């Protein structure tokens, strides 16, 4: 058994003094430099990650071009499709501005580990259905609102598959990803896409057809889905489109340089007064002198001075000097 002893008065006072000192230190509030502290909102979204959405606007322009071929077989005309600048809002705000009865397809973007939403107006679905099955005019069928018919559901499946392929092609220069349908709904209120307060990027498109009211469809991306490629959205796609622009210019230059132009060699000229011309007839001659250099003309415009010679037994000309064009002289 371990022996025990009673604390002395000095030891007890030392312990009590230590407790008092410790309590006073803990009770003293800590002083912080408030100038070094800044507020942080854990629910904030850094919208600057995507820059000015230039890349997304370029992708949307491609979507406009590619989706025309999706609607052409159904409408039997080439519709005019245009895009609006991307908008940033909460999903609740979007739902408030959207009709409840619409075609809503949730697509999975595996490479981005996120989803997107394709929203098509019910009236546009009706127009496509009517035209696809032989309607003589581009117009919506009279129908009770609330649900799509089996025929319209088949049309929705066709255009959804086609538009998903179009969006894949539009995105591939920026980021290769697939658009695979997960679910379809007929009421935007029933969609389990993101939380209502979450930020989404809304890309709206307008479809114009002759003798008909414009139709529309929207593509929605959660901000969190696009964040992993924020650097590409800020710079890379712009470079891609600059490269596309250069390719287009090169092709245009090649096409212009391939144009055949009439080339003529003006050997010499002679002068005669009107009286002699009136008296001249068959067999009369006019003296001429051959210059050292002749003029080569392209489409009637003098371009080069040249010498006359022979090449392979044929008459030929050798360019000796370029003639300044009128525009060159004016600019000079």
Name the pLDDT band for 43 (thresholds 50, 70, 90).
very low
Residue 156 is predicted with a pLDDT of: 95
CB 128 within 8 A of CB 32: no
Summarised one tens digit per residue, pLDDT across range 246-266 is 566 777 877 888 888 888 887
Residue 7 is predicted with a pLDDT of: 65
Identify the three-state secondary structure at position 312: coil
Instruction: Quote the percentage of the chain above a pLDDT of 70.
Output: 77
Q: Half-sphere exposure (CA, 13 Å, Cβ side) for 170?
A: 22
Residue 104 is predicted with a pLDDT of: 95
**Stronger pLDDT, 283 or 27, i.e. the higher one:** 283
* CA–CA gap between residue 82 and residue 104 (Å, rounded): 20
- The torsion defined by the Cα of 271, 275, 281 and 283, in degrees rounded to 10, comes to -50
**Stronger pLDDT, 168 or 329, i.e. the higher one:** 168
**Can you give the length of the chain in residues?**
332
Lowest mean pLDDT among 78-87, 216-225, 254-263: 254-263
- Cβ neighbours for 52, distance < 8 A, ≥ 6 positions apart: none
Residue 131 is predicted with a pLDDT of: 87
Name the residue ranges covered by the structural domains of the chain. Answer: 47-246, 261-268+290-332
* CA–CA gap between residue 108 and residue 182 (Å, rounded): 6
Name the pLDDT band for 50 (thresholds 50, 70, 90).
low
**Stronger pLDDT, 110 or 19, i.e. the higher one:** 110
Residue 236 is predicted with a pLDDT of: 46
Instruction: State which CATH number among 3.40.1550.10, 1.10.3720.10, 1.10.1370.30, 3.40.50.12780 fits the domain covering 47-246.
Output: 3.40.1550.10
**Other C-beta atoms lying within 10 Å of the C-beta of residue 139:** 16
CB 77 within 8 A of CB 207: no
Integer CA distances (angstroms), 141 to 128, 137, 164, 186, 223, in order = 10, 11, 26, 17, 37
Residue 2 is predicted with a pLDDT of: 46
Residue 231 is predicted with a pLDDT of: 80
Could you tell me the pTM of the whole model? 0.58
* CA–CA gap between residue 38 and residue 83 (Å, rounded): 40
Identify the three-state secondary structure at position 101: strand
Please, what is the average pLDDT of the chain?
80
* CA–CA gap between residue 238 and residue 215 (Å, rounded): 29
* CA–CA gap between residue 207 and residue 220 (Å, rounded): 17
């Amino acid at each position: 058994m371990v022996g025990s002893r009673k604390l002395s008065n000095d030891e007890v006072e030392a312990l009590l003094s230590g407790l008092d000192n410790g309590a006073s230190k803990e009770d003293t509030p800590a002083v912080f430099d408030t100038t070094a502290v800044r507020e942080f909102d854990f629910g904030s979204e850094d919208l600057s990650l995507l820059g000015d959405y230039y890349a997304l606007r370029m992708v949307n322009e491609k979507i406009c071009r590619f989706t025309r071929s999706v609607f052409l077989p159904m409408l039997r005309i080439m519709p005019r499709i245009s895009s609006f600048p991307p908008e940033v809002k909460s999903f609740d705000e979007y739902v408030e501005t959207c009709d409840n009865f619409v075609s809503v397809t949730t697509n999975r973007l595996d490479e981005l580990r996120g989803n997107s939403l394709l929203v098509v107006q019910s009236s546009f679905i009706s127009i496509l259905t009517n035209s696809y099955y032989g309607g003589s005019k581009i117009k919506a069928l009279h129908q009770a609102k609330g649900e799509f018919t089996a025929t319209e559901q088949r049309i929705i499946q066709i255009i959804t598959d086609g538009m998903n392929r179009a969006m894949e092609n539009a995105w591939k220069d920026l980021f290769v990803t697939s658009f695979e349908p997960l679910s379809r709904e007929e009421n935007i209120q029933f969609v389990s896409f993101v939380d209502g307060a979450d930020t989404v990027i809304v890309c709206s498109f307008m479809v114009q057809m002759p003798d008909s009211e414009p139709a529309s469809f929207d593509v929605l991306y959660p901000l969190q889905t696009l964040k992993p490629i924020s650097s590409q959205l800020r710079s890379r796609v712009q470079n891609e489109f600059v490269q596309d622009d250069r390719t287009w210019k090169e092709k245009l230059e090649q096409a212009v340089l391939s144009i055949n132009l009439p080339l003529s060699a003006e050997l010499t000229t002679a002068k005669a007064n009107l009286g002699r011309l009136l008296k001249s007839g068959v067999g009369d001659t006019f003296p001429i002198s051959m210059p050292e250099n002749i003029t080569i003309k392209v489409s009637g415009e003098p371009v080069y001075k040249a010498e006359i010679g022979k090449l392979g037994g044929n008459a030929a000309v050798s360019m000796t000097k370029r003639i300044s064009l009128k525009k060159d002289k004016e600019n000079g």
